[in-house]
Amino acid sequence: MSRIVVALGGNALQSNPKDVSAESQLASCRLTAKAIVSLVKEGHEVIVAHGNGPQVGQIVSTYETASKTAGGYVMPLPECGSMSQGYIGYHLQQSIGDALRKEGINRSVATVITQVVVDRDDPAFQNPSKPIGSFFTKEEAYKLVAMENGYVMKEDAGRGYRRVVPSPMPKRIVEENIVRTLAEAGHIVISCGGGGVPVIEDEDGLKGVAAVIDKDLASEKLAEIMDADVLLILTAVEKVAINYNRPGQKDLDTLTAEEAEGYMREGHFAPGSMLPKVQAAVMFARSGPGRKAIITSLEKAEDAIQGKTGTVVTN
Ligand code: ADP
Ligand code: MG
């Protein structure tokens, strides 16, 4: 039996990126639930983390559109992030719960709305770079910046203006004790959705900040804190490759932390997609003896845990 933190990518929640309907998300979650329950069935303890890019984008866009009318108000990003955790958590709870019952497994599923502490001095705050929400004209963009304290809008490759936010490093998971307690009692916990709601900490307590934490890095932090054996990053490819989509592409079965660093320096992993996964895998593999990370596809989750496929990252 292992304790596994599963990091779900965008394709686990939406099979068609153009279809952001709740119905299609729920259908994807039902397939994802099968993969998760296959691990539970084998006796593993599973903690689930997931992305939220399209979902939080949809929520933010809805408020941005509403703000164009008189009296409009743009909901702050931490609140939008927490809404996306609830929305996605609801679908995962329902589908994983149903799949468990179908297998005759008597366990419960809970979503923990998760706050993740970031450092107020994180250099990322000086350089907001992660685009979020709708595209705007220059005039609309200026209006939003004037109206909304702290909005930064950037021109996005000729497609219009878009809001950008910082992506700081995760430091601490506020709800770690409740996640651990639930997992140790045998329940399936969903935590750190969308990388967690980023908060900064001061004498008065916690305060949400307009930022986005990378979900692979947050999942890594969660796996470390939960003393997991495996960080299982599920995405759209079965294995990590070098020379990806280029002549000489080679899919990797194993990767040591040192090899990974060399490949990162050579630019084999796309920033914002494969790079944070490899970074997270290396950090986790180095965080304690016997810990390993596996990067594979949702469909191959079970095979990968049995050692049959995926890219296994060790120290
Ligand atoms: P997720 O939503 O699961 O976080 P992303 O789309 O952000 O996934 O990143 C995974 C994608 O990264 C893969 O589907 C693949 O297209 C791309 N990718 C970039 N570089 C590589 C690489 N070196 N090896 C494999 N996949 C890569
Ligand atoms: Mg993605």
* Domains contained in the chain, CATH given: 3-55+77-117+172-314 (3.40.1160.10)
Over 80: is that where the pLDDT of 72 sits? no
Name which of 54-58, 125-129, 131-135 the model is least confident about. Answer: 131-135
Instruction: Report the pocket of ligand 1 as residue ranges, CB < 6 Å.
Output: 9-10, 51, 235-237, 240-241, 244, 268-270, 273-274
The closest ligand to the CA of 263 turns out to be 1
Looking at ligand 1, which atom is closest to the CA of residue 9? 3
Active site residues: 10-11, 130, 215, 277
pLDDT in tens, 251-271: 999 999 999 999 999 999 999
Looking at ligand 1, which atom is closest to the CA of residue 272? 7
| Bridge partners, residue 231, by sequence | 5, 293
pLDDT in tens, 97-110: 999 999 999 999 99
Q: What is the pLDDT of residue 214?
A: 97
Q: What is the mean pLDDT of the chain?
A: 95
DSSP secondary structure, the chain, as one string: --EEEEEE-GGGT-SSTT---HHHHHHHHHHHHHHHHHHHHTT-EEEEEE--HHHHHHHHHHHHHHHTSTT--PPPHHHHHHHHHHHHHHHHHHHHHHHHHHTT----EEE---EEE--TT-GGGGS--EEEEEEE-HHHHHHHHHHSTT--EEE-TTS-EEEEE--PPP-EETTHHHHHHHHHTT-EEE--GGG-EEEEEETTEEEE-S----HHHHHHHHHHHTT-SEEEEEES-SS-EESTTSTT-EE-SEEEHHHHHHHHHTT-S-TTTHHHHHHHHHHHHHSSTT-EEEEEEGGGHHHHHTTSSSEEEE-
pTM for this predicted structure: 0.96
pLDDT in tens, 263-313: 999 999 999 899 999 999 999 999 999 999 999 999 999 999 999 999 999
Q: What is the pLDDT of residue 88?
A: 98
pLDDT in tens, 9-30: 999 999 988 899 999 999 999 9
pLDDT band at 158 (very low <50, low <70, confident <90, very high): confident
Q: How many residues in total does the chain contain?
A: 315
Burial of 81 (C-beta count, 10 Å sphere; 0-12/13-18/19+) = buried
Nearest to 283 by CA among 239, 213, 222, 240: 222
Over 70: is that where the pLDDT of 186 sits? yes
Q: What is the pLDDT of residue 182?
A: 97
Rounded percentage of the chain residues whose pLDDT exceeds 90: 86
Over 70: is that where the pLDDT of 70 sits? no
pLDDT in tens, 213-266: 999 999 999 999 999 999 999 999 999 999 999 999 999 999 999 999 999 999
Please tell me the distance between residue 241's alpha carbon and the centre of ligand 1 in angstroms.
Answer: 10
Kindly give the interhelix angle for 138-147 and 53-67, rounded to the nearest 10 degrees.
90
In angstroms, the CA 167 to CA 142 distance is: 23
Count of Cβ atoms closer than 10 Å to residue 96 Cβ: 25
pLDDT band at 156 (very low <50, low <70, confident <90, very high): confident
Please tell me the distance between residue 274's alpha carbon and the centre of ligand 1 in angstroms.
Answer: 4
Q: What is the pLDDT of residue 225?
A: 98
Phi, psi of 23, rounded to the nearest 5 degrees: -60, -45
Count of Cβ atoms closer than 10 Å to residue 291 Cβ: 20
Q: What is the pLDDT of residue 58?
A: 94
Please tell me the distance between residue 233's alpha carbon and the centre of ligand 2 in angstroms.
Answer: 12
Q: What is the pLDDT of residue 250?
A: 98
